[in-house]
Amino acid sequence: MTQPRIIEPTFNQLIDVPLKVGESPVWDDRTGTLWFVDILAPAVFRLDQSGHLDRFDMPAPVGCLGLCENGLVVVGLKTGVHLLDPATGKLDLLCDPDGGRPDSRLNDGKIGPDGHFWVGTRDEAVPQTGNARLYRVGPNGDFTCVIDGDMLTSNGLAWSPDGRRMYHSDSSGLLLQAFDFDPQTGQLGPAQRLHDFAPGEGRPDGAATDSEGFYWSAGVQAGRLNRFSPKGHIVEIYTFPFKGPTMPCFGGPDLKTLYLTSLTTENDGTSVAGTVISFKAPVAGALVSRFAL
């Protein structure tokens, strides 16, 4: 198998505010703004093209967000799935799929081609017990549990450009899997195990897909972004001078700007704060769907 290309991209740091755990960047193609969260702040942020940063403080740890058709933002908090009105800052509970389970919180989430909010949980027990789940949440607040147990940290949700394949990782379990996906019903096929992560490849964190069907996975603690072929082979490695990249997303008017969040890490005894960076991607991204609300 051909060795992956190693690339050191020239990037821009986009914010001065230090992030504890930057996550879930989402590009809004209607407004030209970038949304993201800081899980532990906890807060939701909106960055416009002039560099202005809006902050929406949250009442509980916030794992992820997605955009709604009606202009609201769906947000996954430890206390449930909420709807945020950016115009007023008002936050309303939609549902609580995880039901306040102990040692659990909503983690990575994304809107699927079916117009539903797919959101997984992280097992926060020490040591972890395998209690993580993946939920599918509808715009009316109805939800189903799609994966239950034998998982440590649900992460890395992304879909192929045609919407017929769903990618998903277990960050703590160090594996990447894929499922056949019905974009009309959200029905999943059997899990296909694509990749087991070796030391040095990083823990598979948040992810995105590009227009060629390749899967980009943040290798947290390894300072890299891994680009996978649809068959699960790493074909390119983008390296960074910080260890904690957490999630990529494609944006810009041509979807060829790659945005990347990161978390605070220790590097040789020095604390490196989480942030948001951008660089030019070699290919356009696959546009992410909106919550059918």
Residues taking part in catalysis? 205
The CB-side HSE value for 86 (13 A sphere, CA atoms) comes to 22
Ligand-binding annotation for 266, yes or no, is no
Task: Give the pair of three-digit tokens for residue 169.
Answer: 């990782």
How many CA atoms lie less than 13 Å away from 156 in the CB half-sphere?
Answer: 33
Tell me the HSE value of 116 on the side-chain side, using a 13 A CA sphere: 24
Q: Among candidates 242, 167, 259, which has minimal Cα distance to 202?
A: 242
Report which DSSP code applies to 126.
S
Is 70 annotated to bind a ligand? Reply is no
Strand order in the sheet with 154-159: 154-159, 165-170, 175-180, 192-196
- 155 annotated as a binding-site residue: yes
The answer to the question of whether 131 is labelled as a binding residue is: no
Q: Which two tokens stand for residue 257?
A: 């700007």
The one-letter amino acid code at 83 reads: L
Which of helix, strand or coil describes residue 205? strand
Query: What phi and psi, each to the nearest 5 degrees, are found at residue 289?
Result: -70, 170
Instruction: Consult the annotation and say whether 140 binds a ligand.
Output: no
Binding residues: 23, 105, 107, 155, 205
Binding residues for substrate: 105, 107
Binding residues for a divalent metal cation: 23, 155, 205
